[in-house]
Structure 1
């Protein structure tokens, strides 16, 4: 009798992790890995159509410093400084703390926990899992979907695929490591002669 009950339970999926549960488990592992580091560095490559550029960023607490091509971005919990060295301009704006876009708010780039996104496990094979995140209506999360590829052995991100109404951006993560030194901060004196545009 017990054998039949066990077989019925297995057939019904009792005792197994659902696809939604597994997606949440992967996202929790991903976020926990970043939270465990006091500061960290990420090297990446961004691809959008014919555009390709290498970048990196470092995070410590709510502060970050990002470099992509000739551009530099510095931010904290309130203010974001975008430096365009070609145009010799510094744009100052408020921080969008709800954004999970790696270029807009790297502090939360891999924190998809909570009620803002619906998570769906697309695949899990060969030591990699792909989870698609769709913003929940009314959540305030950025429009568009994000597919994150995670190594299930290390719970580290390998790739992000953003789709904003057909506009696709891919970010390939090359390296994640603890922060090696102090976090670079915005220093106005470095940009003497630049035009400052303040949108706050």
Structure 2
């Protein structure tokens, strides 16, 4: 009986159009990656950013809904509701609300690889050399701050390798250099550490 069921499933898969199979695989990758990231209590990522002629490296640390990100002389602290962006070169602190809906690694890294239940529709781009690429297209009227997002993960482990954001004809490419667990303690914002910085509050 079990053998018959397996054979039947094989026949059904052969009859399905390639586009349907690709769509199913893309959805599986997104669901598995999102579930994997949600299951982690804390993790850290080292990354490289390329935007036009600009190149830079940074890292961020996540614990629950909070994170600490450092890139160049900039630091970002967020506690799930409030975001503190510190520019040490300009000696200023910009305070705002965390955009919980954002899936941008540079804007809300806690949700950077969590596309489950988001308003992005996944489609499979390619599978090669041990990697899988998925194109995420924002739904019409979603209000997503970016256009398409291209996500590349390791096929076997589903660990993220790179992510590309489309912004009004331009692109921001983030390559993942390091990925691992993080058990804290997470660095949090301390106003006293920046006593003479200008304070700009957009809340």
List 4+ stretches of structure 1 deviating above 2 A. Answer: 5-11, 138-143
String of CA shifts for 1:157-197, please: whole Å, max 9, x gaps.
00011111211110000111110431110011110100000
Alignment of 1:161-200 (within 5 A): 161-200=164-203
Q: Secondary structure at the match of 1:18?
A: helix
Q: How far apart are 1:140 and its partner, in Å?
A: 3.2
Q: How far apart are 1:30 and its partner, in Å?
A: 1.3
String of CA shifts for 1:86-138, please: whole Å, max 9, x gaps.
01000001111110000100000001111501111000122100001111012
Classify 1:180/1:50 alpha carbon distance in 2 versus 1 (closer, same or farther; 3 Å): same
Segments of structure 2 that go 5 or more residues without pairing to the other structure are: none
Distance (whole Å) between structure 2 residues aligned to residue 47 and residue 25 of structure 1: 28
Distance (whole Å) between structure 2 residues aligned to residue 47 and residue 115 of structure 1: 25
Q: Which residue of 1 aligns with 2:75?
A: 72
Quote the RMSD (CA, aligned, Å). Answer: 2.1
Distance (whole Å) between structure 1 residues aligned to residue 12 and residue 93 of structure 2: 61
Distance (whole Å) between structure 2 residues aligned to residue 44 and residue 97 of structure 1: 21
Q: Secondary structure at the match of 2:126?
A: strand
Distance (whole Å) between structure 1 residues aligned to residue 169 and residue 139 of structure 2: 19
What TM-score comes out, normalization by structure 2 length? 0.90
String of CA shifts for 1:140-171, please: whole Å, max 9, x gaps.
33231110000011110000111112111100
Q: Which residue of 2 aligns with 1:157?
A: 160
Classify 1:115/1:65 alpha carbon distance in 2 versus 1 (closer, same or farther; 3 Å): closer
Distance (whole Å) between structure 1 residues aligned to residue 98 and residue 118 of structure 2: 21
How many positions carry a matched residue from both structures?
A: 196
What TM-score comes out, normalization by structure 1 length? 0.91
CA contact (8 A) 1:128 1:152 kept: yes
String of CA shifts for 1:20-43, please: whole Å, max 9, x gaps.
110111112211222222100000
CA contact (8 A) 2:146 2:165 kept: no
Segments of structure 1 that go 5 or more residues without pairing to the other structure are: none
For 2:21, which of 6, 13, 18 is the aligned residue? 18
Does 2:107 match 1:90?
no
Classify 1:191/1:171 alpha carbon distance in 2 versus 1 (closer, same or farther; 3 Å): same
